[in-house]
Structure 1
Amino acid sequence: MSDERPVRRSSKVKVAEFLAAVGEGNVFTKLQLFEGVPGVAQADRRMRDLRDLGWQIDNYKSDPRLHPDEYRLTAIGTRIDLGEQPKEAPRPRITAARRREALERAGFVCQSCGIGAGEVYADEDGHRAVLSVHLADPGPPVNTELSNLRVECQRCNAGTRGAGRAAPAPEEVLMRASSLSTREDKRRLYRLMQSGRLERDEVELIFAEWLRLSREDRVDVMLRFAGALIEED
């Protein structure tokens, strides 16, 4: 008597096996799918999962010639039903030009906390903000369009607020917000929460631009500006 046990196949593998039998270019119905993989309750969802593995399956939305209950297997992807291993998805690449566009659109400030490039963190003496561009939604299919790019400083991008300190608890933030001394401060904070970025006046914006200069240029601009102030006096 053999002790061998049958290899258990996943629902996705069973669906892949059914589709491979249908063949590229052929049409099948949702009913045929469910009948072809008995015991798989969410066969249609497992079929959609195969798209991430290179399987191209069209429906009436992508091909108007199909009926609402019909699908066409346009291309077969990774044959997981034959034991093929999915290839590692390539890391999304954001071009330098697109990064520059995203930074310019954001005004060279973090879209989460509002700090400008090169500005010093108020609670971290000497630590300056470095901005980076990343995908707002990294899920497949990879979208590197400007609408899916977000600019954040190193702290916001890492999900921390200060070196070695974890992000605060929601209740802590709410308690501090509620304890603000004036109603105007509370209203301003609420506006900031709605906008998602700091309200920066012209002085702060100019200072942020000054910080982006080289050390030599910063000193030069500061001294010349001081001279202009003395003349005004």
Structure 2
Amino acid sequence: MTLPAWDDPELKAGTMVRGALWLVQVVSEGGVFNKEQIRKAFPGISQADRRIRDLRDYGWVLLTNTDDATLTAEDQRFVKAGVAVWDPAARRAAAPQKAISNKEKQAVMARDDYMCTVCGISGGEAYVDDSNQTAVLSVTRRETILPDGQERILLATECKRCRAGSVGQPARADEAVADIKALDAGERRRLLRWIERGRRGTTALDRAWNTYRRLPPDARDQVRGALEN
């Protein structure tokens, strides 16, 4: 499908749609843009940056300096396109639902121990594989297929990185049940204990490794030296 040009004067579309096309055609996925570039691209439109932020409600992934420490306060990174909002049918089908209230958000985050339910990271914590990024938590709607096959939209706490990676992918409770039933009796009992405790059990080796990883680099060097001696 050929996309309309973002700056086509004949294009009858709002700023959000033009902004989406501008991101795809000018910035490109992975690119960085700032408010000054938005002002130049959409002169005379005072809320253009807000309209572009509205794309997040349609699955578009845009990071700020609170999500990616390599960005300045003025910068944003266009990570991934979401719903093709220039297609009226697709836009209507994906129209945002009623906003989640602050009371609901607080209740969900408290239930989830203020951690991402996908990767387990806490808000403000740096990612192990990318110390330039810290986790920003939000309450999101997850399409979920229950064990009986019913489809439900449920609320869950997720960090922005996991949310970006799960776009379009439903949570499969039915597959979880099938996987658990396929375990042998001993493994199933062990898993049920983890479920009751709310965390995975660890071995002595796991605990030793985690203790080592929490040490400052100089202390790790001394531990290695002590073991080698």
- TM class by shorter chain equals 0.3 to 0.5
Q: Which has the larger radius of gyration?
A: 1
Decide which structure has greater strand share: 2
TM-score, length basis structure 1: 0.36
